[in-house]
Amino acid sequence: MKKPFVSLEQLQEIVKDYPTPFHLYDEHGIRANARALNQAFSWNPGFKEYFAVKATPNPQILKLLHEEGCGVDCSSLTELMMSDRCGFKGGEIMFSSNDTPAEEFVLADQLGATINLDDITHIDFLQKTIGHIPKKISCRFNPGGTFTLGESKEGFQVMDNPGDAKYGLTRPQMTEAFRRLKELGAEEFGIHAFLASNTLSNDYYPALAAILFQTAVELKNETGAHITFINLSGGVGVPYRPDQPANDIAVIGEGVRRAYEDILVPAGMGDVSLCTELGRFMLAPYGHLVTTVLHQKHTHKEYIGVDACAANLMRPAIYGAYHHITVMGKETAPCDHMYDVTGSLCENSDKFAIDRMLPEVETGDLLVIHDTGAHGHAMGYQYNGRLRSAEVLLCEDGSTRLIRRAETPEDYFATAIWD
């Protein structure tokens, strides 16, 4: 069972202040989860989570994570600018971009961010762009092939295709890159890799860590580079479906610790700091898209029309992603009706759910669409002139705070040339 983090009574009060649809975030859940992550890696003195800004680029969310000791992972100019304005300082900013425009390297360097290079050609590009190579630098590794974990009769627990991914340097390029960077004055090196997305397995990070730790030992031996940090990046997932088991971050941290002691410590690299760039894991479960049922339509199928649409949450429309739906106040009613839950876009993919079993829904019901805290509002767009919704924070004391207002038609018209 997936339970909303608000009750119907709370929500009925909240919608008096903020008309639906809106994204609601749970401060308590966000903080508790960030603390659990930091606790899980507290055995590593240099550990730091750099929150992947793209998941939820809201200044108040970033500040809240900053208070919990997190930095930020940026991959664009505006993400760097937002992080700077939110008060993140040099060492708290990771810049993991790809196909990077020159101006972004310039700003990342000005801010003192740690630059994570996506390609070997970016070494010379960076040198030319900012006039030097930073003393601390990182390279993104892509081992190619496929990455699998935990084969069983049902298939693999985790399977992804780094060989098809546009990111990162090959293994031979890593060696060449470290040699070149060293020649150009780099003194502290990091290694980054992102091999699988939204993993539901406590073994993903430990397996990735083992690969990176082994690679770090080899690179140190081959190039003499002083490797001071290893970045496990993102990829720890969340259970979108109610029957999926959640990851246990304490078990994950312990698994990484074992790999660290098995591989890095014997190689005399027991001072390496670890970092993560989690996005989804940090925010997805702590966001709800709150929407009201506007219409019921009985044609070839049964449709529930709500006031949110794919412009507020794109994942179901573009990936067929499952997002659980709770009909507020009917949590214990039997799910004996089958519905398509749709938005209003002139796009047949604008469906939050297809053939979903729900309790009998009535016009005016409030629906909570779960796990929208990451890549929810962030992926919003304005197709059909549907505007991006407000974002509201449910504070730890039970009060609410508007953390982004809804767009207005004036916002939508502002970039047009009218005459």
Ligand X SMILES: *Cc1c(COP(=O)(O)O)cnc(C)c1O
Q: Examine residue 234 and tell whether it contacts ligand X (CB under 6 A).
A: yes
Kindly state the smallest distance separating residue 326's Cβ from ligand X, in Å. 23
User: d(Cα 287, Cα 373) in Å, to the nearest integer?
Assistant: 4
> Exactly one of 2, 48, 66, 280 binds ligand X (CB under 6 A); which one?
280
Q: Does 279 bind ligand X (CB under 6 A)?
A: yes
| CB closest to ligand X, residue no | 234
Provide the mask over 172-201, with x wherever binding to ligand X is found by CB under 6 A and - wherever it is not. Answer: ----------------------x--xx---
Q: Which is nearer to ligand X, 198 or 372 (CB)?
A: 198
Subset of 238-277 contacting ligand X (CB under 6 A): 277
Question: In the complex, what is the shortest distance from the CB of residue 156 to ligand X, in angstroms, rounded to a whole number?
Answer: 18
d(CA 131, CA 121): 15
Q: Specify the residue, 96 or 326, whose C-beta has the smaller distance to ligand X.
A: 96
Q: At what angle do helices 171-183 and 204-223 cross, to 10 degrees?
A: 50
Sequence-distant (6+) residues with CB within 8 A of 115 are 95, 105, 108, 109, 126, 134, 137, 138
Task: State the number of binding residues for ligand X (CB under 6 A).
Answer: 18
Place of tokens 């992926």: 379
| Min CB(368)–ligand X separation in Å | 21
Closest to 70 in 3D by CA, of 271, 276, 212:
276
Which residues, numbered 3-42, are part of the site for ligand X (CB under 6 A)?
none
Among the listed residues 55, 80, 133, 314, the single contact to ligand X using CB under 6 A: 55
C-alpha pair distances (Å), 270 with each of 135, 222, 252, 261: 21, 18, 19, 8
Q: Is 287 in the site for ligand X (CB under 6 A)?
A: no
In sequence order, which residues have a C-beta less than 8 Å from that of residue 203 and are 6 or more positions away? 149, 150, 157, 158, 255
Tell me the sheet residues that pair with 357: 338
Interface contacts to ligand X, rule CB under 6 A: 52, 54-55, 73, 75, 96, 194, 197-198, 233-235, 277-281, 374
